[in-house]
Amino acid sequence: MGFRDKLEQMKRDKANQKAYLAVAESADPADTICATLGEDGAPVYFAMPVEASDDEIQREAFKLRHGRPMSKAEMMLSDYAARGYGDE
């Protein structure tokens, strides 16, 4: 990894830390901080209640990533994949 690569990585790390802290500082203490990768590959942080289910977190991450909620077909496929169907 060359100097320029290291410098770019440091910039990405700093931006990542800044984005995390912005959400963490504004979140309710009872929330958990979650993350997903945006369309550009950069992490996107968001707060969810601690009692939120994995499905609720996944749907919120999808909405942030794609700018729309999951369709019923996408929810069905996601559920299908999560249960490991087809892994036999």
> Would you kindly state where each structural domain of the chain is located, as residue ranges?
3-82
Residue 86: pLDDT band with limits 50, 70, 90: low
Q: Which residue has the higher pLDDT, 83 or 22?
A: 22
Mean pLDDT calculated for residue range 34-46 = 91
Question: Mean of the per-residue pLDDT values for the chain?
Answer: 90
The Cα 77–Cα 74 span in angstroms is 5
Long-range contact pairs involving 23-32 (C-beta distance under 8 Å, separation at least 24): 23/47
**What is the pTM (predicted TM-score) of this model?**
0.78
CA–CA dist 71, 66 (Å, integer): 12
7 contact partners, CB below 8 Å, separation of at least 6: none
